[in-house]
Amino acid sequence: MLFFEKALEYLEQNKENLAPLTVRTYYWNLKKIQYFRPDLDCADINEQMVRDFKQHLQQKGNKPNTVIKALSVLRSFSRHMLADGLISENPFNKVRIGQVYTRRGFLTTSELKKLYLNYQDQRRFLTETEQDVMRAFLFSCFTGLRYSDLHSLDASEIFDYKIRKQMHKTGDPVYVPIPLQARLLLPENLKSGPVFRIVENSHFNRTLRTAAKKLGYYKHIHCHLARHTFATTCITLGIPLPATSKLLGHRKLETTLIYAKFVDTFLDKEMKKFKKLG
């Protein structure tokens, strides 16, 4: 069976469990594989094919992150096919995809505080949709929830101002005590149903940028920036990295450590330990 057709079948089966942006990302990366080998059969996926595809992407001038994403998508669908017996062995056993770290944008603690206070003081100047979007964004800044988890967050998943839910992206459970700032963003009558009214992702980001400008924030902003902001804020406040990692639902501490690279106060604090030498 052709790889592209089978991969689309898998994608269609899991569509309801994926965010729209994730579905589009998978689809366009699958198209890259189809362009590389239109007649690629599932049984032809092996180590050499992976290496050839990687070289093809590099020769086409794709950036490292783009190559890594395409290979990650290939690996994801290869795992499905391996489980279903369509391929005999894992083609990625001896192939290292690699990882490229890029600077992740975030709001500094002072920027977050200013935006939060401006929202509380000036939200009457925002449209209803802009208020909904900004409230959800700020809630994410204080809890670390992804867009997909904000979208699916139900009142039943909040008890005694603590979030207990299954993350949409990974399926892993996450536990987040809600800080006071975020509690004030919750609906007054939190009884049942969706906590926030969340519009489609691209609409969310456009509306967010419009609302932010009305509140005096002019840098480029998008929904996932809130999660980065939560991570860097935790580190800035001195919350231990293992605890921050747990709050974010990271499976590996190394993923959380990426944020520590961008927080100068974290490095300042750690280097002060040299004073112990006397």
Strand-pairing partners, residue 177, are 162
At 14 the pLDDT is 81
Whether 97 and 223 have beta carbons less than 8 Å apart is answered as no
At 121 the pLDDT is 97
Q: Which alpha helices (H) appear in the chain, and where do they start and end?
A: 3-14, 20-36, 47-59, 64-83, 109-122, 128-143, 147-152, 180-183, 201-214, 225-236, 241-248, 253-260, 264-271
At 234 the pLDDT is 94
pLDDT 10s per residue in the chain (278 long)?
899 999 999 999 887 766 677 788 899 999 999 999 999 999 999 999 999 999 999 999 998 889 999 999 999 999 989 999 999 899 998 888 876 555 568 999 999 999 999 999 999 999 999 999 999 999 999 999 999 899 999 999 999 999 999 988 778 899 999 999 999 999 988 888 999 999 998 899 999 999 999 999 999 899 989 999 999 999 999 899 999 999 999 988 888 888 877 777 777 777 777 777 76
At 271 the pLDDT is 79
* Structure tokens that stand for 250 in this block: 């990271």
pTM, full prediction:
0.68
- Residue 258 neighbours by CB under 8 Å, 6+ apart: 101, 104
Whether 168 and 152 have beta carbons less than 8 Å apart is answered as yes
Please tell me the distance from the alpha carbon of residue 212 to that of residue 118, in angstroms, as a whole number: 9
At 102 the pLDDT is 56
- Could you tell me which of 196, 122, 208 has the C-alpha nearest to residue 154? 196
Q: What 3-state DSSP class applies to 166?
A: strand
Whether 172 and 179 have beta carbons less than 8 Å apart is answered as no
At 96 the pLDDT is 82
User: Which residue shows structure tokens 């990366």?
Assistant: 29
| Cα-based angle 221, 102, 228 (whole degrees, multiple of 5) | 45
Burial label for 40, CB within 10 Å (0-12, 13-18, 19+), is middle
Please tell me the distance from the alpha carbon of residue 161 to that of residue 143, in angstroms, as a whole number: 11
DSSP assignment of 41-57, as one string?
A: BGGG-SHHHHHHHHHHH
At 203 the pLDDT is 92
